[in-house]
């Protein structure tokens, strides 16, 4: 269980402060909605460790996460238009998720498996610039798979996709979450994404997370 307990934060120079408490269970998608500017991305930044709360606790299975810098947290972050390297192949982009020092042959095998798991078997050598938006999100998910972190944070990951692609991509996120027991926290303002994917839904109202 990922658990935030009264994480308090205010952006420098801003009066309004946030008090975030939530629970996200393994194998489930926990959705976060809220008006533009309500603090959704701020919440993900706190969970990922890009900003630090002034007080509160954040734990995964009881272990403190706040003392870890972003790169050492058991967390992956996937954004709307994920920063893939357009001039590199699908394989090379996905391989960025591998732990440092993975032997080449093992790495290639794992990348091939991850690309197959996201439905991109045979796309290894394709340059990312030549892939569709949905295929790019799948490459980013393959990289996330190889990072193999138990917490997945998604910030409007389907916004740039057309309706059909958005449906298949979100099904994939649901499947991967269940299969790998990820604690997936999904920021979305799309009611159908939330209805299709989320077991639990919080809305940010006046700086606090309210169960919907």
Ligand X SMILES: Nc1ncnc2c1ncn2[C@@H]1O[C@H](COP(=O)(O)OP(=O)(O)OP(=O)(O)O)[C@@H](O)[C@H]1O
Stretch that binds Mg ion, among 34-42, 57-65, 177-185, 195-203 (CB under 5 A): 34-42
Site for ligand X in 4-43 (CB under 6 A): 11-12, 14, 34, 36-42
Nearer to ligand X, 40 or 73 (CB): 40
Q: State in angstroms the smallest separation of the CB of 55 from ligand X.
A: 18
Question: Near Mg ion by CB under 5 A, which window of 37-45, 68-76, 141-149, 201-209?
Answer: 37-45
Nearer to ligand X, 32 or 112 (CB): 32
Q: How far is the CB of 22 from ligand X (least distance, A)?
A: 15
> Which one of ligand X, Mg ion, none interacts with residue 134, CB within 5 to 8 A by kind?
none
Site for ligand X in 39-78 (CB under 6 A): 39-42
Residue 43: CB atoms within 10 A of its CB come to 25
Q: Rank residues 38 and 177 by Cβ distance to ligand X and give the closer one.
A: 38
Q: Closest distance between ligand X and the C-beta of residue 58, in Å? A: 17
Q: Which of 21, 41, 59, 159 binds Mg ion (CB under 5 A)?
A: 41
Q: What angle do CA 107, 75, 208 make, to 5 degrees?
A: 160
Closest to 124 in 3D by CA, of 99, 100, 88: 88
With respect to Mg ion, which residue has the nearer C-beta, 41 or 165?
41
Residues whose CB is less than 8 angstroms from the CB of residue 164 and which lie 6 or more positions away in sequence, other chains included: none
Is the CB of 28 or the CB of 45 nearer to Mg ion? Answer: 45
**Cα–Cα distances in Å, from 122 out to 81, 108, 170?**
23, 13, 22
Which residues make up the interface to ligand X (CB under 6 A)? Answer: 11-12, 14, 34, 36-42
Which residues make up the interface to Mg ion (CB under 5 A)? Answer: 40-41
């Amino acid at each position: 269980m990922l658990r935030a307990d009264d994480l308090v934060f205010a952006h420098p120079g801003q009066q309004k402060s946030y008090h975030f408490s939530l629970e996200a269970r393994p194998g489930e998608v926990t959705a976060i909605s809220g008006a533009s500017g309500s603090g959704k991305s701020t919440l993900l930044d706190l969970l990922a460790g890009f900003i630090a709360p002034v007080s509160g606790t954040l734990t995964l299975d009881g272990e403190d996460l706040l003392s870890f810098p972003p790169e050492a947290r058991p967390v992956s972050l996937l954004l709307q238009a994920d920063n893939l390297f357009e001039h590199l192949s699908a394989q090379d982009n996905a391989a960025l998720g591998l732990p440092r020092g993975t032997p080449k042959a093992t790495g290639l095998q794992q990348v091939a498996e991850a690309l197959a798991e996201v439905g991109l078997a045979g796309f290894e050598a394709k340059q990312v610039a030549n892939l569709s938006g949905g295929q790019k999100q799948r490459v980013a998910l393959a990289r996330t798979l190889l990072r193999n972190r138990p917490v997945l944070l998604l910030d409007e990951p389907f916004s740039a996709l057309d309706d059909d692609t958005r449906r298949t991509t979100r099904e994939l996120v649901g499947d991967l979450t269940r299969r790998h027991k990820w604690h997936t926290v999904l920021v979305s303002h799309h009611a159908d994404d939330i209805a299709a994917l989320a077991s639990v839904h919080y809305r940010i109202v006046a700086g606090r997370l309210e169960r919907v």
